[in-house]
Amino acid sequence: MANIVGGYIMPHDPLLFVNPQKKERDHLLAVYSRICDKVRASGATKAIIFGADHYILFGPRCLPQFLIATGELHGPIDRLPGVANAPIASDPDFANYLVNHAHGSGFDVSVARDLGVDHAIGVPAQLALPTDGSVQTVPVYMASGVEPYVRLQRAYEFGQMVRDAVGGMPGDERVVLIGSGGISHWVGTGEMGRINPEFDKKVLDAIVSGDPSTLLSMTDEEIMRDGGNGGMEIRHYLAVMGALPAGQGEVLTYEAWSGGVTGLGFAEILPA
């Protein structure tokens, strides 16, 4: 029987790679490699990455609540030093299985037959997964970057649906989940550059506890106030938590890095 062997939370802040202020960052980049080693050690064969479009793929005319890519993948298509726009191993059969299961579970997901992904998917796929193609990726884009946002509860329920889908698969696939993004940051607003470690700690404490209630009780107004519009990406974390209920979390690294505009949080969630 297929099963979920672990989950990870990680940032995708482009400034970590552009590094315009030339700040020390090697210790942060090393965490992606550390996670990659963990994924390899887990024997994972598939990865589902939850991310948000940044007006790079869909634009204002097409804003799907959920989108699953079912064909060939490459990215990130936005240029980031040290992160090549390269092919990403995919599994159309697994992706289509998830689409069909989602449709049968009341999630009317959109589909992309092939996709050049942005940094939300491309950064974790290229840096936190083995580059030998041994772990095949399914990207899931959620409406957490641009209004109208997916409701927090719905994001958590999507993770529950993914858990059911994986549990019903034949074979012995081993699946890892990645929630990409966050934590606190303000994008394109007058507060851009602000980081709120208190909000970030609240989010990471919820992940460590395995209890999503703190995150689910937040309103979008509270998230916008305390975590910025970029904080809306906690929906991706909730999807991972929904798929790993009561999973034991561990913060791998957190830093309000002065070279960027984002509270950079890395965490691992192990199955209960």
Each residue of 198-250: pLDDT tens digit? 999 999 999 999 999 999 999 999 999 999 999 999 999 999 999 999 998 99
End-to-end CA distance of the chain: 17
The stretch 243-268 carries a mean pLDDT of: 96
Q: How far apart are CA 167 and CA 173, in angstroms?
A: 10
| Spatial distance between the Cα atoms of 44 and 5, rounded to a whole number of angstroms | 7
Q: Residue 58 above 90 pLDDT? A: no
**For tokens 């099963």, what's the residue?**
3
Tokens linked to 123 = 């950064």
Given this model, what pLDDT does residue 88 score? Answer: 98
| Contacts of 29 by beta carbon, 8 Å cutoff, 6+ apart | 16, 82, 127
User: How does residue 21 score in pLDDT terms, banded at 50, 70 and 90?
Assistant: very high
| 8 membership: H or E segment, kind and range | strand 3-10
pLDDT value, residue 89: 98
Residue 77: closest CA among 123, 105, 51, 116: 116
pTM over 0.95: yes
Query: For a pLDDT cut of 70, what percent of the chain falls above it?
Result: 100
Q: What pLDDT band is residue 150 in, cutting at 50, 70 and 90?
A: very high
